[in-house]
Amino acid sequence: MNMSKVVTRFAPSPTGFLHAGNYRTAVFAYLFAKQHAGTFLVRIEDTDRARSKPEYEQNIMETLAWLDVRSDTEIARSSDRVERHKEILAKLIESGAAYVSHEAKKDDSNQMVDVVRFRNSGTTVSFHDEIRGDITFDTTEHEDFVIARAVDDPLFHLAVIVDDGDAGVTHVIRGEDHISNTPRQILLQQALGYAVPVYAHLPLILGSDRSKLSKRKGAKALTEYRDQGVLAEAMLDYLASLGWHPGDDREYLTREELIRMFDLSRVQKGGAIFDETKLFSINQHWMRALSDEAFVARGELVAADESKLREAVPLLKDRAHTFSEVREMLAGELACLFAAPEIEREVLVRKEPADRPGLTKSALQGLLEPLRRLPGDVSAEVVKDTLMPLADAEEAKGKGGRGGVLWPLRYALSGQERSPDPFTLISILGAPESTARIEKAIAILE
């Protein structure tokens, strides 16, 4: 392998929102550079002026900043380098490696144009791809290919190799869809005396239906996942796992571990599947890895009572896969932690066995005293050890007795069909608030 300082690049075209597959390319190029104490650079490849849009470029910058996959140098833009491309084009024409060709435009207009064609001797071009091995192309079919629409309008291939060459890029890590571009780019590099970089063409990423991931088929911009409350460290971990595996059974890797362990030669040749469910489960792991304080801060969570919010974090860590799920829970089944719920008589008595009228009320009354004796800061386990025997005793008197106690208790506390168990609720609400809610329920039954 090349011993000079490693320089990799990510050269996205801002012609649409990039998807996970594009960013996976960025992540691999970034990891490889960092691993070799090299340089990672980002270049906005806006050679297709008509389709390049500032909002797409803005989204690329935002996503890379979110992932903290940042360019080590100021971000270049192909359109800012057109003068340099023109200079190189002139050089190619002057040396005879390229020539101006007066020909009819390839449309129905009959218009004559002066394009610039590269003089291609039709040799075979071979290169070693770090992922796919040795590749040989016969370049005859490319004939004298067009490298500029006019002497002042150089095209993609020329721009790419001039920009890579001038930046000293040593490793071109990019999507497999660029493999067929490589022989033409190598011919240009050779004609201009640029060193041929090491190539690594990454396999495509497929959607869960195994078709190519594409925006048209609903592939999301990564910022949508950010807005849904996926953590950057989770996204980075997941993107790195698409087509690469550290080779041991480690499932979750930090940025530092990824930089240390990433291995270009272990990237698989077959397409990897982008699986949202897997991404969310990795996200849950990284959400759980946060301290409770960091969880609140990173999720930008707000609630009327901050200390209750903090106490609810273990519940949230247990249940949610994204921070939008967290917010839904706080507004839904966990709203009862922050405000006393409205409750209805019929729902309260729903589980009262038909042969034991009045059980709901007497059971709730029976819970008040033991609850009042609980210490201020109490765990769900202690609450359970205190109250469960009372529910068990009712069950011993007749089937359905346990539910006849626990259901109205949970409903009185939460006002919800679905909620955390009553012991957890009491441990977070505290005994005074819990007894107040139970007393309110008893009053409804008077």
**Interface with ligand GLU includes 201 (CB under 6 A)?**
no
**Interface with ligand GLU includes 160 (CB under 6 A)?**
yes
Which stretch in 7-15, 56-64, 114-122, 138-146 sits in contact with ligand GLU by CB under 6 A? 7-15
Which stretch in 8-16, 88-96, 236-244, 351-359 sits in contact with ligand GLU by CB under 6 A? 8-16
Residues 6+ apart with CB under 8 A from 141: none
- Compute the C-alpha angle 34/36/41, nearest 5°: 50
Tokens of 96: 């005879």
**To 10 degrees, what angle do helices 422-429 and 380-397 make?**
140
Of the candidates 128, 176, 170, 231, the residue with the CA atom closest to the CA atom of residue 21: 176
Q: Which of 6, 7, 8, 12 binds ligand GLU (CB under 6 A)?
A: 12
Binding mask 21-60 for ligand GLU (x = CB under 6 A): ------------------------x---------------
CB 19 within 8 A of CB 223: no
Provide the CA 14 distance to its chain's centre, in angstroms: 19
Q: Which of 178, 212, 226, 317 binds ligand GLU (CB under 6 A)?
A: 178
Determine how many CB atoms are found less than 10 A away from the CB of residue 80: 12
Of the candidates 138, 143, 178, the residue with the CA atom closest to the CA atom of residue 45: 178
Q: State which residue, 130 or 237, has the beta carbon closest to ligand GLU.
A: 130
Q: Which of 19, 174, 184, 361 binds ligand GLU (CB under 6 A)?
A: 174
Which stretch in 10-18, 53-61, 301-309, 310-318 sits in contact with ligand GLU by CB under 6 A? 10-18
Q: State which residue, 197 or 400, has the beta carbon closest to ligand GLU.
A: 197
**Interface with ligand GLU includes 212 (CB under 6 A)?**
no
Tokens of 78: 């192909």
**Interface with ligand GLU includes 162 (CB under 6 A)?**
no
Encoded amino acid at 18, one letter: L
> What 3-state DSSP class applies to 44?
strand
Q: Which of 11, 29, 296, 312 binds ligand GLU (CB under 6 A)?
A: 11
Q: How far, in Å, CA of 218 to CA of 216, rounded?
A: 5
Binding site for ligand GLU (CB under 6 A): 11-13, 45, 160, 174, 178
